Structure 1
Amino acid sequence: MGYYSAKNLWRHRKQCDANPEKGSSGKRSQALGQTLLLGNIKVDIELKVKVFPRMRPDKVSLVAKNDKLICAFASRYLKLHRELHFVQVVSRKMRELARLLMEIKKLDLSVVTLFDALKPHKYDILVKATKLTSGYDDESQTYKSPTYAMNMGTTLKQCCDVALLHVLKKSKSLPTVDNANVEADIKTCIQLIEANWRFDISTNAANDLNLKKWNKVTLVPLATDLKLLKDYLMKVAANQVSMLQKNPSNEKAYTSLLETVYCRLLLLNRRRPGELQRLPIHVYKSAISEEHNQAYEEFSEAITETERILMRSFKRIVIRGKRGRGVPVLISKDVQDHLNLILECRDNIQTVSNIYLFGKPNSQEPIIGYKVIKKYASLCQAKNPHALTSTRLRKHLATLTQLFNMSENDMEQLASFMGHTLGIHRASYRLPDDVYQTARLSKILTLMEKGEAGHFKGKSLDEINLNLDENLISEAQQDDNHPEPLCQYEDIQEPHPDPESQQVDITLPKKKSRVLVPWTEDQKNLVLVHFGNHIKSKRAPKKAECDNLIASHTELLHNKDWLKIKVFIQNQYRKKK
């Protein structure tokens, strides 16, 4: 055994006789070297083999690996979540607890391990350390990491459960007064966290998190950007297919085709990137080889011809989604052809065992989905590439479906397809609140402000039309300094003055003089009779209605335009108030 510089450790590993892969420096040399510093600490072997090598080799990781309670908590969490990608989650939770322990040690020098901090009289230290770790600001009473502060309460309770289990096992073999006292302290600590943590941490952190979300700008992918991305993916895929057909061992073309197929499936199905990137290859092969359409022949009459064609055009496979839910993935025929080519060339490229369909070449890991979609969103020259993320694509799908008249059953099917419940779909994946409240609910508020809500009795929000365009035109054409009088005369501006008079007007500004053209009795009678119902309901006529009246009585209304007729009608029912 010997000590080496962290930067030069890879060189020693390359020539070390104890290295089973002598001649290769490998990866994570510093992480493996840090694990050797732990000595013979009793840790779950699965945790030591799977999680420790993936942890960043710094002081935080060393504290986490040295603490028995943190390791026991991580071991139990790893047993509960058997999927390979949860190794990263376990590593993150261990480091969160280690950072908390480091702050506790600064506040109380008597604390050596996390187990020492789980006592009732140290509850205030736990609260203070959590605030320091999550970046709490006393002046603004806000958190830099409110999610960390909210989750730490649950994590500490789970640590108390693990510690209590350890004490109970120990007390059965050798019951003592000390064990009973420790057991009572841990139970009391759990009660304190359950009773007071929400008042000290969780409520403020949740309010802070919600406050930051309220005025956050909602980015939605542009339709033009989606088309650009799809066209670019198809263009790249076509080039890589031709290259692979010429040279099946072309690793660069293989990787590019794999990434474009992944992006196309993500774009079509709006899946979470982690769900799709971890698609096992045996699941795809078994699903493609089976024929499902024959099982639904009795339902062929219940669907349209278009839907029958779509059923023949797409293959459906089910993969594991969030919280163990099964979520479907639809695969078009051209994507199936590309995947078949990938499988044909896979043995030439993939030299190590990889269980994933979208596995990295010469690696046991899958591709990193969010990085791939980010890469091609930038390459396709989209106007707003930051909006082309998986989360925003999922929100985009749920938002646009509100344009259709979908039944409750259709909404449930959509929520099931997206891999969440109907309640989550309505709360998080619907039209953004800022759009809905500004564009739709403002109709109701505007009508109530004008006192015209009763005119639209029994109508839906989609059927309400406020004619805001005409009101804006009317306001724009009215002179700011001369509001429209409640009379039966209209304004006609004088012709443009000559340059000399115009120059005088600039030096000595004057108010514009107006020539009032009175309405004749015939004009008034015609307009009053034609728009009698509008006056009774106190509703201004529309532009098209005024134009139709002028077209049918051109000679009589030769000096009136639609705007003057509209203002005349407005003046009539306003005078009756």
Structure 2
Amino acid sequence: MKQLADGFALSHGHDADNFAHIRNKLRELGRLCITYREITEQPNAALTDLINPSRFNDVVKATRKTAGFDEETNLYPTPSLALKLGHSLKAAAEVLLSQALSDGPVVDDASENKCQRFLKLYNMQWSRAVSSNALRTLTDHKRNHPQYIPVTSDIAKLAKCLKHDMKTGVQALSQGDPKPEVWRSLSEATLTSILLFNRKRSGEVSKLKVKDFENRQNGQSSVIDGLSEWEKALCKSMTRMEIVGKRRRTVPVILTRDMVESMELLMKNRMEVGVPEDNKFFFALLHSQNHKRGSDTLREYANRCGATKSQLLRSTRLRKHIGTVSQIINLRDNELDILANFLGHDVRVHRQFYRLPEETVQLAKVSKILLNMDKGTTSHLAGRTLDQLSVEHEDVPLDDPLEAGSDCEPEPAVLKKDSLSSVNETDVLQDDSVNVGAEAAAMEIDPSFSSTSADETDVCKMNKKKTKKSRMQKKKRICIKKAWSREEKQAVVSKFREHFLKLTLPKKQEIEAVLESCYALRERPWTKIKDFIRNCQKKQDPLDFL
């Protein structure tokens, strides 16, 4: 146990935040040893006694009992504990094997053979005896489990609250008499603001070093020349720095001007408020060598900002939020790599864990493929992306009456007329307001204008607006859709087959001549027939409805 603890300390002891992780690992093995003693009735059994191939089945039983394995359902209430115990047991066996190898075959040949046989049994049976049930339990917990991401309005409220507190803190700290409570409040607001803006893990930003902030930089001038004007402006206004991320990966952080101003003030007044000189963390605790916890500050501000679902404003869910937005944006592969590297993980991790909720994307995009396959119209799917696919199905009502392929035709002339009249009348109202404003300005300059003329102008303006408003209301029409029957469709194709083949539209006179002789189309105006032909010609197969 001591040698295993020394190995954990050698791997993770460089960071004080990992001390709790080491303690938890040792406690888990301690619980396993206690359970093993109860099963085997060996009160003095140690961890070394568990690394024995003849006791492998007892070790499996002790692991299952420690993790709470249910014999009836074959599931674990805490499946992660069973997986962690397996990893720790393998690490302990490898420590004993390395010690036996270092002692030499003469000194400890039996111990080497025992460890090798235990590891062989572990590789052959542990997965089937312990890990498979634990992984199945984890999978069952995730299946049909609601996956929530923060609400956009709550994120806006949190950002507004942080900007207000940062502005207030900067003004208070700039007065020349730094107070510890003001410095602490500004430090927490700045830390939370960086977390929210960059969608970083809370532990990464919390451990930001002073030297990392001092080494910040803007965009490189050699690369800026190839950017657009808007991107060049962003490079000049934004600042970038690098911090240590998960698995010692270098992770970039982008700072706005307000963040840099706030951090410069915090850096300037560190010593005056009581931060030790040898504290290397930027967001340091007063009179301590430790740092603030970003998860605590984010939780506090989430509860204070008035968010409707404050429990969702956490760093992990914010990272999933940007992953979901990246799906909507439909980034290219190289752009997705840039986003994944900025977030501090591999693009495969981004696709698997940070693109939620998948159910929305599947319902919106994959269902279009299934509906087209269900209808049998797959010939026109070749060479198209998911966004370019259209759906013509009775279970999916289309809101747009002019949608290509719609069998329900609106009154296009009435709609166009109303829309144009409303736009023109709006423009007239705007022009009138501009003219009235110009007249009012002239009244202030020219003393010849009297108050009576101004009143008359206001009255005329109000009457004109009322007249136009009543005129707009009278012109509104209700569009009633009527589905095309099969007889009507066949009549249109038989009468205008040449236009279907040449992908041309018939003229008004041609359609009216057909209406006089065709009884099936007697209830269709010539405008609806022309729109029907136009919509059919937009399809891959214009005659697929026959």
TM-score for the superposition, normalised by structure 1: 0.68
Q: CA deviation at 1:344?
A: 2.1
Question: Given the alignment, which residue of 124, 136, 146 partners 2:79?
Answer: 146
Q: Take 2:166 and 2:338, find their aligned partners in 1: how far apart are those partners? A: 32
* Letter matched to residue 239 of structure 2: K
Specify the alignment match of 2:306 in structure 1. 381
Please give the per-residue CA displacement for 1:1-60, whole angstroms capped at 9, x wherever unaligned: xxxxxxxxxxxxxxxxxxxxxxxxxxxxxxxxxxxxxxxxxxxxxxxxxxxxxxxxxxxx
Specify the alignment match of 2:335 in structure 1. 410
Contact 1:350 1:362 in 2 (8 A): yes
Specify the alignment match of 2:34 in structure 1. 102
* Letter matched to residue 343 of structure 1: M
Specify the alignment match of 2:227 in structure 1. 303
* Letter matched to residue 344 of structure 2: G
3-state DSSP of counterpart to 1:136: coil
3-state DSSP of counterpart to 2:252: strand
Contact 1:119 1:186 in 2 (8 A): yes
Contact 1:523 1:556 in 2 (8 A): no
Structure 2 residue 386 is the aligned partner of structure 1 residue 461: yes
Question: Given the alignment, which residue of 115, 129, 133 partners 1:200?
Answer: 129
Specify the alignment match of 1:124 in structure 2. 57
Q: Take 1:87 and 1:379, find their aligned partners in 2: how far apart are those partners? A: 32
Q: Take 1:523 and 1:162, find their aligned partners in 2: how far apart are those partners? A: 83
Q: CA deviation at 1:443?
A: 1.3
Contact 1:274 1:369 in 2 (8 A): yes
Equivalent pairs: percent with the same residue?
A: 28
Segments of structure 1 that go 5 or more residues without pairing to the other structure are 1-68, 475-516, 537-548
Question: Given the alignment, which residue of 118, 141, 147 partners 1:212?
Answer: 141
Q: CA deviation at 1:473?
A: 8.1
Q: Take 2:16 and 2:349, find their aligned partners in 1: how far apart are those partners? A: 26
Specify the alignment match of 1:319 in structure 2. 243
Q: CA deviation at 1:266?
A: 1.0
Question: Given the alignment, which residue of 320, 330, 342 partners 2:266?
Answer: 342
Contact 1:105 1:112 in 2 (8 A): yes
3-state DSSP of counterpart to 2:26: helix
Q: Take 2:393 and 2:39, find their aligned partners in 1: how far apart are those partners? A: 63
Specify the alignment match of 2:114 in structure 1. 185
C-alpha spacing 1:78/1:534, structure 2 compared with 1 (3 Å): farther
Contact 1:523 1:557 in 2 (8 A): no
Q: Take 1:206 and 1:524, find their aligned partners in 2: how far apart are those partners? A: 57
Please give the per-residue CA displacement for 1:488-516, whole angstroms capped at 9, x wherever unaligned: xxxxxxxxxxxxxxxxxxxxxxxxxxxxx
3-state DSSP of counterpart to 2:286: coil
* Letter matched to residue 260 of structure 2: Q
Q: Take 1:199 and 1:534, find their aligned partners in 2: how far apart are those partners? A: 68
Please give the per-residue CA displacement for 1:169-199, whole angstroms capped at 9, x wherever unaligned: 5568xx55xx332332222111111111111
Specify the alignment match of 2:6 in structure 1. 75
Q: Take 1:335 and 1:96, find their aligned partners in 2: how far apart are those partners? A: 42
Contact 2:218 2:236 in 1 (8 A): no
Question: Given the alignment, which residue of 60, 65, 84 partners 2:16?
Answer: 84
3-state DSSP of counterpart to 1:94: helix
Paired residues, number: 435
3-state DSSP of counterpart to 1:208: helix
Q: Take 1:529 and 1:252, find their aligned partners in 2: how far apart are those partners? A: 84
Contact 2:148 2:312 in 1 (8 A): yes
Q: Take 1:351 and 1:309, find their aligned partners in 2: how far apart are those partners? A: 36
Q: CA deviation at 1:390?
A: 1.1
Q: Take 1:156 and 1:163, find their aligned partners in 2: how far apart are those partners? A: 11
* Letter matched to residue 322 of structure 1: K
3-state DSSP of counterpart to 1:85: helix
* Letter matched to residue 258 of structure 2: D
Q: Take 1:471 and 1:141, find their aligned partners in 2: how far apart are those partners? A: 43
C-alpha spacing 1:231/1:161, structure 2 compared with 1 (3 Å): same
Q: Take 2:80 and 2:15, find their aligned partners in 1: how far apart are those partners? A: 24
Q: CA deviation at 1:298?
A: 2.9
Specify the alignment match of 1:358 in structure 2. 283
Q: CA deviation at 1:167?
A: 3.8
Structure 2 residue 82 is the aligned partner of structure 1 residue 166: no
3-state DSSP of counterpart to 1:143: coil
Specify the alignment match of 1:156 in structure 2. 89
Please give the per-residue CA displacement for 1:107-139, whole angstroms capped at 9, x wherever unaligned: 122252111121111111211111112221122
C-alpha spacing 1:112/1:450, structure 2 compared with 1 (3 Å): same
* Letter matched to residue 263 of structure 1: T
Contact 1:248 1:345 in 2 (8 A): no
Q: Take 1:292 and 1:370, find their aligned partners in 2: how far apart are those partners? A: 28
Q: Take 2:497 and 2:197, find their aligned partners in 1: how far apart are those partners? A: 55
Q: Take 1:158 and 1:412, find their aligned partners in 2: how far apart are those partners? A: 34
Specify the alignment match of 2:361 in structure 1. 436
Specify the alignment match of 1:27 in structure 2. none
User: Structure 1 residues 361-370 or 240-249, which shifts more?
Assistant: 240-249
User: Structure 1 residues 446-455 or 310-319, which shifts more?
Assistant: 446-455
3-state DSSP of counterpart to 2:16: coil
* Letter matched to residue 28 of structure 2: E
Q: Take 1:248 and 1:114, find their aligned partners in 2: how far apart are those partners? A: 59
Q: Take 1:237 and 1:533, find their aligned partners in 2: how far apart are those partners? A: 71
* Letter matched to residue 145 of structure 1: T
Root-mean-square deviation (CA, aligned residues, Å) is: 3.6
Q: CA deviation at 1:470?
A: 8.4
For 1:45-60, list aligned pairs within 5 A: none
* Letter matched to residue 128 of structure 1: K
Contact 2:148 2:357 in 1 (8 A): no
Q: Take 1:530 and 1:335, find their aligned partners in 2: how far apart are those partners? A: 70
3-state DSSP of counterpart to 1:302: coil
C-alpha spacing 1:445/1:117, structure 2 compared with 1 (3 Å): same
C-alpha spacing 1:469/1:396, structure 2 compared with 1 (3 Å): farther
Q: Take 1:273 and 1:265, find their aligned partners in 2: how far apart are those partners? A: 10
Q: CA deviation at 1:433?
A: 2.8
3-state DSSP of counterpart to 2:230: helix
Contact 2:60 2:129 in 1 (8 A): yes
C-alpha spacing 1:128/1:348, structure 2 compared with 1 (3 Å): same
Q: Take 2:523 and 2:386, find their aligned partners in 1: how far apart are those partners? A: 36
3-state DSSP of counterpart to 1:219: coil
Point out which structure has higher relative CO (alpha carbons under 8 A, 6+ apart): 2
Segments of structure 2 that go 5 or more residues without pairing to the other structure are 400-481, 502-510, 516-520, 537-541
Q: Take 2:312 and 2:296, find their aligned partners in 1: how far apart are those partners? A: 14
Q: Take 1:534 and 1:218, find their aligned partners in 2: how far apart are those partners? A: 52
Q: Take 1:386 and 1:561, find their aligned partners in 2: how far apart are those partners? A: 55
